[in-house]
Structure 1
C-alpha cells in the first residue's frame, strides 16, 4: 500500500513537473526611450542630499511613469505621494530621506 501511494505521488510529481508553464506576461504600458542626459547613478552616493535625491527621483521614480514636476504640489501634498511611492521604488531609509529633501526643497511654496 505504501509503495502504491509512493508510486502515485512520484507519478504526479513527474506529470506536473513536465507540464508547460504559462509564459510570463509583459505589462502593456509603453516603454519610452531614454532621452537626454539622465543623472548618473553615481550621484546616488553624493554627500549632498539634494544631488542624491535628484538622482534617485530622476532614475528610480521614472521607471514606471514620467517624472513629475516637483513644483506642482506643496510639501503637504507630496507627503502621501512619497509615502506610497517609496515602497514601490524599494528605497532604503537614506534614499527616502534624500528624495524627500529634494522634493521638499523644490515643492510649491
Structure 2
C-alpha cells in the first residue's frame, strides 16, 4: 500500500468515525417539548404553565420524566408485586402489560378535581 492509499484509507475511517459519533448524540425530539400544542380549552391540560413543554423547565426532561413533569402524577397502588408476561394477548412486557421495574412506577395518574 503506498502513501496515497494509506492517507485515503485514514481519511475514510476518520470520516466514518465522525459520522458515527455525531449520530450517536442525536435525539429525534427535544424531551418534553410539545410539537403541536392543542388549541381552545385543552391548552392547559398537558402544559399548565404555558411554556410549550410538559416538563418543569424549558430544558426538557433531564433524568426522570416523572419527577420533572409539570403535572404532579401519583402512582397507582398495586396490591402486590406485578408479574411480567402475565397476559394472554399482546407482547410480553409490552404496551398493555403493567410491569414493575423496581425503581419506577408502572402506572401513574393525575386528577385535578
TM-score by length of 1: 0.31
More helix by share: 1
What TM-score, normalized to structure 2? 0.30
